[in-house]
Amino acid sequence: MTERISELLNEAVAGVEPAHPDPVGAVLRRRRAARRTSVLTAAVVCVGLTLGGAVAAQQLNHGPDTGVVPAAVPVPYIDGDSVVAGSVRLPIPDGWQVVTTYQPCVNPARAMVIWTAEVDRPLCRNAAVEIFHNPHTLPGGRIVHSDSEVIPGGIIIPRAQITLPGGEPGLLERDEGDPGRTPAGYYLDTTLKMPWSQSSIMFRLHRDDVGKMIASMRSAPVGAGTLALPRTAVVADFIVSDATGRVASNGFGRIRDRKAIDRVLELLREQDTVVPDPQACAGSAQGTAQLVMKPTEGVPFGTDPSPVPGPSPAPDPRDTTVVTIALGGDCQEAVSAHGGRVRFSDEALTELRTIFGIGAR
């Protein structure tokens, strides 16, 4: 029933287009009209307005500088000739069909499925592209070092941090080598997670075609600023992988010590050189370091309460905070899944490695 209501609401506005041809002009005219009213009011209550203005000015000067992502992003939807997932637009290739969970498709190899409901599988099975609304911050992926005593249960290989056209950060699964086909004739899947847009896209395509499709995407990110971080955490994991996705046996660590965690958060907050969208440059040729901070332990995946600071609207209050760092070269930058992207210094990276004991074992 919940899914049906969501579908009906989506359907109700799918065809809605603004009537106003110049929205910017309309907004500014309203603003000027509001200003005129304010001036008239000021003549009557100038003393009160002066005091109020002083307060307002103080608030403006004290503007937040932390990057934030929207508190909630709608389920992906079709808008003209694109699928919109948060701040990202994925053009629909000519001749392709876009369906939702309960709709069949003619040719799965040229179909996109928008998951509008939680089901085991959509009616259009093995579609070349599947698009998900995904508010959780943990990107998921392949598990290695499952016999580790440092992080029992193993670690998930950090994905490559990439930059989508327009500046939106994406986390792309590393290439596992030859992109062979499954017995059914489909390519193995590759998933792109877009934390700021709370969405992910699974491609069942040859790697070259995945690259082309990602290159065709457009984005208008809304998470710029310094890193959105939790106030504190009870456990933090740090995992470092090279550009091939290899994680050395001494390439990861876990800490629970409160002072150490506080120092990690302090280090992250000290990184205050914000990367504007046009200057973002992280790519899949770089290694990745991933910092996962959880507010509690021993609760099922995706249900932990969030330690995200109050002023930052969290994508989901149960989410863990994940900070991903693209390593090396002139483009060492860190992205928080809750918003914010900054340049990351070599000194801070070295200290993180020391705190987590990486390279020491």
Partner 1 sequence: MNNQDTGAPDFARWVTARYPALVRYGTLLTGDRGHGEDLTQESLVKTHRAWRRLHPDGDPEAYTRQVMARAAWRLGCRLWRGEVPAAAPPDRPAGGDAYDHRDTADAVLTAIRALPAGQRVVLVLRYWAGLTESEIATQLGCSTGTVKSRASRAITALRRADGPLAEAFAHAASDASG
Single-letter amino acid code for the residue at 343? R
The rounded Cα 263 to chain-centroid distance in angstroms is 25
Range in contact with partner 1 (rule: CB under 8 A) among 179-187, 218-226, 231-239, 319-327: 218-226
Q: Is 260 in the site for partner 1 (CB under 8 A)?
A: no
Q: How far is the CB of 149 from partner 1 (least distance, A)?
A: 37
Q: How far is the CB of 106 from partner 1 (least distance, A)?
A: 20
Q: Is 225 in the site for partner 1 (CB under 8 A)?
A: yes
Q: Is the Cβ of residue 80 or residue 329 nearer to partner 1 in the bound state? A: 80
Encoded one letter per residue, x for contact with partner 1 by CB under 8 A and - for no contact, window 47-66 reads: ------------xx-xxxxx
Q: How far is the CB of 114 from partner 1 (least distance, A)?
A: 14
CB neighbourhood size of 123 (10 A) = 14
Please give the C-alpha separations between residue 27 and each of 21, 220, 221, 299, in angstroms, as whole numbers. 12, 20, 22, 47
Cα–Cα distance measured from residue 201 to residue 188, given in angstroms and rounded to the nearest whole number:
14
Q: Is 40 in the site for partner 1 (CB under 8 A)?
A: no
Site for partner 1 in 296-355 (CB under 8 A): 313, 317, 339
Q: Is 223 in the site for partner 1 (CB under 8 A)?
A: yes
Q: Is 36 in the site for partner 1 (CB under 8 A)?
A: no
Encoded one letter per residue, x for contact with partner 1 by CB under 8 A and - for no contact, window 5-24 reads: xx-xxxxxxxxxxxxx--xx
Cα–Cα distance measured from residue 133 to residue 86, given in angstroms and rounded to the nearest whole number:
9
Cα–Cα distance measured from residue 280 to residue 169, given in angstroms and rounded to the nearest whole number:
8
Q: Is 248 in the site for partner 1 (CB under 8 A)?
A: no
Q: Is 226 in the site for partner 1 (CB under 8 A)?
A: yes
Range in contact with partner 1 (rule: CB under 8 A) among 41-49, 140-148, 219-227, 319-327: 219-227
CB neighbourhood size of 243 (10 A) = 15
Please give the C-alpha separations between residue 317 and each of 45, 119, 226, 280, 310, in angstroms, as whole numbers. 43, 23, 20, 27, 10
Q: Is the dihedral of CA 202, 325, 256, 272 positive or negative?
A: negative
Contact 235, 256 (CB under 8 A): yes
Strand-strand pairing, 169-172 and 160-163: antiparallel
Q: Is 84 in the site for partner 1 (CB under 8 A)?
A: yes
Encoded one letter per residue, x for contact with partner 1 by CB under 8 A and - for no contact, window 124-163 reads: ---------x-x----------------------------
* Angle separating helix axes 23-44 and 46-61, nearest 10 degrees: 130
Return residues touching partner 1 (CB under 8 A). 1-2, 4-6, 8-20, 23-28, 30-31, 34, 59-60, 62-75, 79, 84, 87, 102, 133, 135, 220, 222-226, 274, 276, 313, 317, 339
